[in-house]
A and B are shown apart, each in its own frame.
Chain A
């Protein structure tokens, strides 16, 4: 049993960066977006680690990383990611902003996946983050799966166990901090990963060298993706709420506790 695991992963600004929206002729964007340090989208990165883990345990399996981002930024991010797991890159050159529409991004991703030489949809597992750290819509992966004709889909996945008969046991996050356990007969399937269970893999120079042989040509071949901002934005702004923090210091713990107890009970 082997799989073709396609991981869709975008890039997002480093979470520690200050973000400020600006208006451009193309629609809303982030100030100095091209200069902001970027990382692979966090939940999509978990999907990539899970894909790598699954591929290692299923001989003959292969991992593809499909990413739509400005080529230069993507190259920077891949310098790190390519040292962690083995994959074949399929790059699309286009905006990585969250203000574009998931419908258009899904169309571009699905077309790129359809064009993978030797794609066998009966063995296809479409992985990605269940939401991005940019648009955070939780829609792109599902729409991409629909375009590829995959009708078994799971979102907020924390674990995937492959049975001896090729069936999957999948745990998805649902309300109340619980997991929905489902049994699926097997590939093809879409899995939008949450955190999963795997730590970030350590850097491996050997893996990095191996990946970079294919990453650079893939970046050079990256086709422009026809993705633009199509929604009619009325406003895009930072939240105005800045609290006036009351700092309480040099007060005994018992007094702090008394005030908190009153507050919790709704009397303060």
Chain B
């Protein structure tokens, strides 16, 4: 029977993240021998939280607390060897996404990333930035798969304090040191991956309004008010983010990190509300995993109306948001 290794790293706040537990549950459904490879400064709490789900192995030490390629790749390589894994699953965190392709290369294996479905040895993933969906399988081993968050139910950990695990040795050397994590924009955090709602602001917020003037400050107030009232995560169209590069007035809290679409992110939220955005294909491909979609736009013939949104409100977003913020207030 093939050994399936699940790679998990420790996280601040929780021994193992939700995405990691989802991957573990997916691995258990594949029908092989499950092994769990843990990486972190101290893996005792993580081991305790997943005890009983499979054989436990860990690479631990201060050098492996930092998210960096050299040590993460070294740890993963050692765990793959120790487990004798044919299939290696990991959640698509930035940490694993950075290093696992290199580990697959070292192991003479193959890798598939952004996996959105895994069933009976066949995976589903998207090509051309979420425009074409494919399912495929491979004969080569080891086969590495990076699974997207939300792929299925999370493993319901029973927990066992003091769970025993096998310690695996890995090379700790690196020329890189992680200094810390910073938020790029000042003020409150606008990108919230766990939020129920994605609120997307398009370039229309910066255009002349009915009175013939641009109301950038008011737009900023309304958008931030919406985020505060609803707890939504803020996304943006490329055209709005790009305005700053072209010397136009911009909304000060937006950066390329907020960008959703062809050259931006493809976030996962249950609901999405687009405002002042035309809903053309390069933008909407970033909405692939937004289940319930609504849009507010003055153009009844915009892209959203052509089967891309569930509801299109043909209305002035300034007026709607003014009232909506009052209701959510």
Contact = CB atoms under 8 A, between A and B. Distances in A.
A267 interface: no
Given A133-B129, A243-B293, A28 B134 contact: yes
Contacts of B180: 180-181
Contacts, number: 268
A195 B105 contact: no
A249 B314 contact: yes
Contacts of B3: none
B309 interface: yes
B256 interface: yes
Mostly, the B contact residues are mixed
A121 B123 CA distance: 37
A139 interface: yes
Contacts of B288: 239
Contacts of B165: none
A261 B189 CA distance: 22
A213 interface: no
Contact of B136 (A142, A176, A231, A261): A231
A77 B168 CA distance: 49
Nearest to B255: A177
A134 B282 CA distance: 13
A143 B102 contact: yes
B315 A13 contact: no
Nearest to A103: B110
A197 B316 CA distance: 33
Interface string A142-177: 110111000111111010000000000101111111
**Interface residue tally on B, bucketed by range:** 35 or more
A55 interface: no
Interface stretch (B32-40, B67-75, B78-86): B67-75
Interface of A: 12-13, 15-16, 18-19, 21, 28, 30, 42-43, 98-99, 101-103, 106, 133-140, 142-143, 145-147, 151-156, 158, 169, 171-186, 194-195, 199, 231-239, 242-251, 253-254, 256-261, 263-264, 266
Given A137-B111, A151-B174, 19 more contacts: A134-B128, A138-B97, A152-B176, A155-B94, A176-B192, A177-B184, A177-B190, A178-B184, A181-B182, A194-B256, A231-B138, A232-B136, A233-B136, A238-B131, A243-B308, A243-B309, A258-B327, A260-B313, A263-B294
23 contacts: A12-B128, A99-B127, A134-B128, A136-B129, A137-B113, A137-B114, A142-B98, A146-B102, A151-B69, A152-B174, A153-B99, A155-B98, A177-B257, A195-B259, A233-B136, A236-B134, A243-B310, A245-B308, A246-B312, A247-B305, A248-B311, A256-B320, A260-B324
